[in-house]
Amino acid sequence: MNVRHFMPALLVATLGTVALPAAAQQKLLPAQSSISFEIRQMGVPVQGHFKKFDAQINFDAAKLAASKVHFTVDIASTTLGAPEMDAELPKPTWFNTAKFPQAQFTSSAFKALGGGKYEVTGKLAIKGQSQDVTVPLTMTQAGAATTASGV
């Protein structure tokens, strides 16, 4: 697996769909959140998701400079939905979960693009490698919850 190509996909996945209370200091609502991703294996799209993850989020559209997000993903919880593939993922060839059990993203900046759209920049670390990434993010408000979707 080429980790360099997987890292941006993981960040988009990490910012996949999360439900948050509508306050500056938000708490991830796991029952209403998911982190899914799509990779290409031999040119074929393969979808998967992470079963365990957590986030610390402080987002305020009026104070973007003070907004921050930090995600931790339990890499061993990755599933592609096929037992034979899932058995391969923890091995050194893929994620090497014995040595690298988590992936993390820590934001460094948010940029407003208008209409509830943002770019979030930060460092994504997976399998002992760290990379600067910037991905689009859409925030929508529904009652007391904010939904963040990465694309």
What confidence tens digit (pLDDT) does each residue in 121-140 have?
A: 999 999 999 999 998 888 77
- Tell me the residue range of the domain where 22 lies: 3-150
For 128, residues 6+ apart whose C-beta sits below 8 A from its C-beta are 99, 100
- Alpha-carbon dihedral angle through residues 16, 84, 43, 124, given to the nearest 10 degrees: 40
120-128 contact pairs (CB < 8 A, 24+): 120/15, 120/69, 122/69, 124/7, 124/8, 124/10, 124/11, 124/14, 126/3, 126/6, 126/7, 126/10, 126/75, 126/100, 127/3, 127/95, 127/96, 127/100, 127/103, 128/99, 128/100
Is the model's pLDDT at 111 over the cut of 90? yes
Check: CB of residue 119 under 8 Å from CB of residue 134.
Answer: yes
What confidence tens digit (pLDDT) does each residue in 11-28 have?
A: 444 444 455 554 456 667
For 121, residues 6+ apart whose C-beta sits below 8 A from its C-beta are 107, 108, 109, 110, 111, 132, 133, 134
Give the total residue count for the chain.
Answer: 151
Split into its structural domains, the chain has a count of 1
How far apart, in whole angstroms, are the C-alpha atoms of residue 112 and residue 138?
A: 10
What confidence tens digit (pLDDT) does each residue in 60-70 have?
A: 888 889 988 88
Share of the chain above pLDDT 70, in %: 77
CATH of the domain at 64: 2.40.128.110
